[in-house]
Structure 1
Amino acid sequence: MLPAKIRHLLLALIVLILIASGLWWFSQPKPVTVALKEIDRGKVESSIANTRAGTVEACLRTRLSTILGGRIEILAVKEGDRVKKGQLLIKLWNDDQQAQRVLALTQVESARKHVAEACALAVNAESEAERQASLRAQGFVSKSAEEQARAAAQSKRASCDAVKADVAQTQARVSAARVELGRTVLYAPFDGTIAKIVGEVGEYSTPSPPGVPTPPAIDLIDDSCLYVRAPMDEVDAPKIKAGQPVRISLDALPKQSFPGKVRRVAPYVSAVEKQARTVDIEATLDHPEAPGKLLVGYSADVEVILAVRDNVLRVPTSALQEGGRVLVAGTDGKLQERKVKTGLANWEYTEVQNGLAAGERVVTSLEREGVKAGAHFVAEEKSK
């Protein structure tokens, strides 16, 4: 057996070695846990999206009010009703205009009878003038008698023409009365759905005077044709043209998107107080039936696709740092910084033209503390 002194020395040496090993271990930097994504090939799109929520709009929508104010006598529809073009919507009390129209029709009939009387007398007077002229040629009557007969015929003919003019005047009164009646009724200008009604039977309906916003009596929507209006940043506006493909997403239908086309780009910039200047675009669905029943007023987002490249090397956009740099998972367990050349990009993927190879893994959790070039790393479970 070893002497006790030697054993004590060996134990002390072992303890010193363990302490030194522990100090060395704890002095080493701990590896950071990172999320990794494997570089692969696939599709990359360059796109831009609206700055604020867009809105589903109807191609035809009108807010109707009667031209004249008055008491509502007939309310022929209710909110949510489907109506046909030309269908009566609202009629105001208009007994006075109807009475004026009846009076005008009566005047027309009276004037026509006066025409029959006056024109019959004119025909008789003209026949008498011809008879007097024949007798004058034979020497049976004087020249003055012939002239009197001719003057009487001309006078009767003038009376006939005057009464005819009275008929035209009274017919014009009928037309004017009809116009006045039309100012007290509302008819549907197109097929659609009644969205809102302001007023009830017996209440007074007031038209909107110039410069004074008054709620319309009827809000009529043609929901057979819908589009999405969305504001785009003025910086992106020059890139957008009618006919470009888009993806439309609706808050009411989460996790779904629908293909469409740009229909129109507004020719002016909208300046909204305390908000960025934007340009409105209109987009339509390629298959309007795909989302099902859409309601006017739904909030929607429009992503305009500017360019598409298929089967290209791509890196998650979240892995890119300023200056086109990425952190690559090295085979030595350390993170390596790599400069890459990029192409098309969107919020999800960016095309890699040079600097990375398929199969390499890049860090996507750049916001975590300690994630930097040269750091030891441990990959998260389920990361690729």
Structure 2
Amino acid sequence: MPATRLSLRIIGIILLVITTGYAIWHFTSNEPLKVELVTVDRGVVEATVVNTRAGTIKACRRAKLSPQAGGQIVRLNIHEGDRVKQGQILLELWNIDLQAQYDLAKQQLATAENRQQEACILAENAQREYVRTQQLVEQGFVSAQRADDAHATAKANRAACAATAADVKRAQAQIAVSQANLDRMQLIAPFSGIVAQITGELGEYVTPSPPGIPTLPVVDLIDDSCLYVSAPMDEVDAPKIQVGQTARITLDALPDHVFDGTVRRIAPYVTEIEKQARTVDVEAEFTHPGQAAFLVGYSADIEAIIDQRQAVLRVPTQVIRQDNKVWVVDQNNQLEERTLETGLANWVYTEVLAGLTEGEQVVLSSSEGELAAGQPVTPKSPQP
């Protein structure tokens, strides 16, 4: 009898454990998982191409200027950050000797012009004298030899007048040479812009760059009225990009702004920085350049819009799993796995051609375990 009671007691304990375990499994397995859901809607889907490395804002015109000749800076009319106009003198080198040569050339020109005036007056007078002598010869008052002498004198004076005219032109040419030498001592702004950097101070000596030996420019001038972005695109994506395509430009310095742009140039060659990283430089200009104060050298990205479709059925790209499968929540709040037929896509949205209808809910994320078909779920608040 005691052995029978002990056996019955052991059997009862085993049954209690099994029953308790089943109850726990039953209630926990049917408890809905919390998942983050998104609703299938309609909107814009774009196919875009983005640069592989950071691009750079550049100026349409930027010149690193140096005087054509070497010399000592005697006049520096600018400071870094100054805005200058086209034709403005930026700096001037010592040129007293050249200025003296220029003044001498002007005096020589004045002398040559006076001599020309004298010679030409004599030539006119000699011509009139020859005409009068010829009339007297015809009337028989003077000999023909007198007329020949007058004619020779008139011709000689005309030749002297022509010679002095050549002297005037030579003096004018000498002035032009002297002026060119003076101009070489000045650095003139080729366009309007802002002075970015000055390498040199008043009294210092500057030297033009000899062939094959680069030296620092004296003035770095930037025309910041026209800016664009240059960025490297992967060679695989380059054939998709066309000049004139719409683009979006983003800047690291202004992360909360997106600027409209247009592709303006595609490099006709591939840049080989690394053997496994070949890129094509693409340039995009700002559609509205006055939207913000940009600095040349800002890092920037170009997102070229290859294709765009309006009001199409779409889902966030991250909900799509391998083989275009998604988890859909049915009317009973249970999971159903579906396979989608997709169209245009980017890293944000994917166009849905078949497999979903507008208004259905799909699982965006879940952190409470593996998902399975038929499993009950409940929505949770989306993560910020």
Corresponding residue of 1:135: 136
CA distance in 2 between counterparts of 1:350 and 1:199 reads 57
CA distance in 2 between counterparts of 1:212 and 1:369 reads 67
CA distance in 1 between counterparts of 2:182 and 2:210 reads 20
How high is the TM-score relative to the length of structure 1? 0.86
Contact 1:70 1:204 in 2 (8 A): yes
Deviates more, 1:173-182 or 1:325-334: 325-334
Does 2:190 match 1:189?
Answer: yes
Corresponding residue of 2:172: 171
Contact 1:88 1:187 in 2 (8 A): yes
CA distance in 2 between counterparts of 1:88 and 1:289 reads 28
Does 2:227 match 1:229?
Answer: no
Deviations 1:234-271 (A, max 9, x none): 22223222332222111011132122322x12241241
CA distance in 2 between counterparts of 1:163 and 1:9 reads 146
- Specify whether residues 30 and 163 from structure 1 end up closer, same or farther in structure 2 by C-alpha distance, changes over 3 A only: farther
Deviates more, 1:241-250 or 1:104-113: 241-250
Corresponding residue of 2:296: 296
CA distance in 1 between counterparts of 2:42 and 2:371 reads 28
Does 2:16 match 1:15?
Answer: no
Report SS of the residue matched to 2:323.
Answer: coil
Quick one: percent identity of the two aligned structures?
47
Corresponding residue of 1:145: 146
Deviations 1:197-256 (A, max 9, x none): 111111122223333332221111122222222222222223222332222111011132
- Specify whether residues 118 and 310 from structure 1 end up closer, same or farther in structure 2 by C-alpha distance, changes over 3 A only: closer
Report SS of the residue matched to 2:69.
Answer: coil
In the TM superposition, residue 350 of structure 1 has moved relative to its aligned partner by: 0.7
- Specify whether residues 162 and 257 from structure 1 end up closer, same or farther in structure 2 by C-alpha distance, changes over 3 A only: same
Contact 1:334 1:373 in 2 (8 A): no
CA distance in 1 between counterparts of 2:284 and 2:200 reads 35
RMSD (CA atoms): 3.3
CA distance in 2 between counterparts of 1:203 and 1:69 reads 11
Deviations 1:125-163 (A, max 9, x none): 223322332232233333223212211211111011101
Corresponding residue of 2:255: 254
Contact 1:240 1:265 in 2 (8 A): no
Report SS of the residue matched to 1:273.
Answer: strand
Corresponding residue of 2:266: 266
Kindly provide the amino acid, as one letter, of the partner of residue 318 in structure 1: Q
CA distance in 2 between counterparts of 1:67 and 1:18 reads 103
Report SS of the residue matched to 1:323.
Answer: helix
CA distance in 2 between counterparts of 1:207 and 1:22 reads 94
- Specify whether residues 110 and 303 from structure 1 end up closer, same or farther in structure 2 by C-alpha distance, changes over 3 A only: same
In the TM superposition, residue 181 of structure 1 has moved relative to its aligned partner by: 1.1
CA distance in 2 between counterparts of 1:187 and 1:32 reads 78
Corresponding residue of 1:344: 344
Corresponding residue of 1:213: 214
How high is the TM-score relative to the length of structure 2? 0.86
Deviates more, 1:15-24 or 1:186-195: 15-24
Kindly provide the amino acid, as one letter, of the partner of residue 381 in structure 2: K
Matches within 5 A, 1:8-87: 8-20=6-18, 36-43=36-43, 44-87=45-88
Deviations 1:267-325 (A, max 9, x none): 412413216332323223333333x2111111111111223333332222123334323
CA distance in 2 between counterparts of 1:237 and 1:38 reads 34
Unaligned runs of 5+ in 1: none
Matched pairs, number: 378
CA distance in 2 between counterparts of 1:379 and 1:230 reads 45
Corresponding residue of 2:315: 315
In the TM superposition, residue 336 of structure 1 has moved relative to its aligned partner by: 5.3
Corresponding residue of 2:91: 90
Deviates more, 1:88-97 or 1:11-20: 11-20
Contact 1:199 1:205 in 2 (8 A): yes
Contact 2:38 2:364 in 1 (8 A): no
In the TM superposition, residue 167 of structure 1 has moved relative to its aligned partner by: 0.3
- Specify whether residues 101 and 269 from structure 1 end up closer, same or farther in structure 2 by C-alpha distance, changes over 3 A only: same
Report SS of the residue matched to 1:213.
Answer: coil
Kindly provide the amino acid, as one letter, of the partner of residue 102 in structure 1: D
Contact 2:49 2:305 in 1 (8 A): yes
Deviates more, 1:235-244 or 1:249-258: 235-244
Deviates more, 1:275-284 or 1:298-307: 275-284
Kindly provide the amino acid, as one letter, of the partner of residue 11 in structure 2: L
Report SS of the residue matched to 1:272.
Answer: strand
Contact 2:42 2:358 in 1 (8 A): no
